[in-house]
Amino acid sequence: MIYYLVTAKHSYTMESYLETYGRSLQDQVKLVYYEELPYIGEMPLGTYIFSDLERLSPAQITLAAYVWNHLAQVRPSVRQLNSPRLTMRRFELQKELHRSGINCFQTIRASELYAPFRFPVFIREESEHTGSLTDVLHREQELSSALGRLLKEGHRLENLLVVEFCDTSDAAGVYRKYSAFVVGGEIVPRHLIFSRSWVLKTADLGTGEMLQEERDYLEKNPHEAWLRDIFALGSVEYGRIDYSFLGDKPQIWEINTNPMVLMRPKDYAPVHHPGQEYFARLILPAFEKVNSPQNLARGVRVLVPQKIRKDLPGEPRTRSIRRFAKNVKNKVLGRPNVGVVTRHSAGEF
């Protein structure tokens, strides 16, 4: 059994996959909400994927690490991917990639603009996957104005990153974004998308040549060895890397520890269906390989100390119960094939 730890708000990344392309895994993957961890009490034996780490608060990281350490006591009966303490987050990884000479561009915190950097730049959030919050900024005045606007909109300065713009477009002005998953020890190419926009969230170009280039990428997995090294550098055992090339030099944009596996087929343009179906065939064996046979033996007792629970964000337990009960009703009872592990008293899992 695979237990996928995720924030409740962002569980759709795995849910949509299990409801569609990953239906054969529905009885083998269960969702566990970080918000529920203090109340679970006992955790079954199996494989645990700690996803969504970049979105967790410091207190939630402490909680996740506490649970990780308890589960580690019963290895190999429990397998774990993505240590909450060791897996690098976006800023930490970007700093290391630049320091080691892999990335040509630099990332700094908006609260530390005294550090030297080069224009042009853009601004993004450290803990979310919203892409750039600004256009490309070419001067100090533009940067100051953009930061002022974002603060007025409710963004926190400490959660904003200033990133040097790295233009990876080709001679025709087309940008490419490569993406690949790591699942345990398996590197699985996800897609290659094309756009004339430098912020690539979805493919808006799809000529026959481009689709063939993507298919070659999926079939040949040409960067497998290099990608394995980058994931190891970041101590990431589950996630998706997004990257491009500046000439022949790879540039890493980020590693997402809670990536969208696959959306619903209707969410893709028909021209992209073959590529999505091909990836679905690639990723399934990777999940099957990390899956642990269901073990009915008694699980691991995890009683979270009050000193950890008191610092967690959110509402009191009674409100949490009502909110998650509603969440389960809406998400599970309406779509009964997606398994969610959710209990509200110690010992019930």
- Predicted confidence pLDDT, tens digits, the chain (349 residues): 999 999 999 999 999 999 999 999 999 999 999 999 998 888 999 999 999 999 999 999 999 999 999 999 988 889 999 999 999 999 999 999 999 999 999 999 999 887 789 999 999 999 888 889 999 999 999 999 999 999 999 999 999 999 999 999 999 999 999 999 999 999 999 999 999 988 876 778 889 999 999 999 999 999 999 999 999 999 999 999 999 999 999 999 999 999 999 999 999 989 999 999 999 999 999 999 999 887 777 888 888 889 899 888 764 443 454 444 445 434 433 343 455 554 333 333 3
So what's the pLDDT on residue 205? 81
In a shared domain, residues 112 and 153: yes
Return the DSSP state at 56.
Answer: -
So what's the pLDDT on residue 115? 74
In a shared domain, residues 68 and 12: yes
In a shared domain, residues 137 and 201: no
Q: Is residue 280 domain-resident?
A: no
In a shared domain, residues 244 and 298: no
**Interatomic CA distance for residues 174 and 154, integer angstroms:** 34
Q: Is residue 38 domain-resident?
A: yes
In a shared domain, residues 159 and 185: no
Residue 253's nearest CA partner among 163, 123, 192 is 163
**Interatomic CA distance for residues 12 and 332, integer angstroms:** 12
Residues 6+ apart with CB under 8 A from 179: 189, 190, 191, 192, 193, 240, 241, 242, 243
Q: Is residue 61 domain-resident?
A: yes
**11 touches 331 (CB < 8 A):** yes
**AA identity, residue 343:** R
Which phi and psi angles does 92 have, rounded to 5°?
-60, -45
**323 touches 315 (CB < 8 A):** yes
In a shared domain, residues 219 and 189: yes
Last residue of a domain, one of 204, 237, 256: 256
**Interatomic CA distance for residues 162 and 312, integer angstroms:** 28
Q: Is residue 270 domain-resident?
A: no
Rounded to the nearest 10°, the torsion over CA 313, 318, 323, 327 is 110
* Domain total of the chain: 3
Q: Is residue 19 domain-resident?
A: yes
Last residue of a domain, one of 234, 256, 278: 256
In a shared domain, residues 192 and 159: no
The CATH number of the domain holding residue 196 is 3.30.470.20
In a shared domain, residues 332 and 295: yes
In a shared domain, residues 153 and 182: no
Which phi and psi angles does 33 have, rounded to 5°?
-85, 135
In a shared domain, residues 209 and 153: no
CA 136 from centre of chain: 25
> Which residues constitute the domain of residue 139?
106-164
So what's the pLDDT on residue 128? 86
Q: Is residue 66 domain-resident?
A: yes
In a shared domain, residues 12 and 80: yes
pTM of this structure:
0.88
Q: Is residue 267 domain-resident?
A: no
What angle do helix axes 90-99 and 224-233 make, rounded to 10 degrees? 110
**AA identity, residue 173:** G
Q: Is residue 100 domain-resident?
A: no
**Interatomic CA distance for residues 60 and 57, integer angstroms:** 5
**Interatomic CA distance for residues 27 and 25, integer angstroms:** 6
So what's the pLDDT on residue 203? 72
Q: Which two tokens stand for residue 107?
A: 């990332």
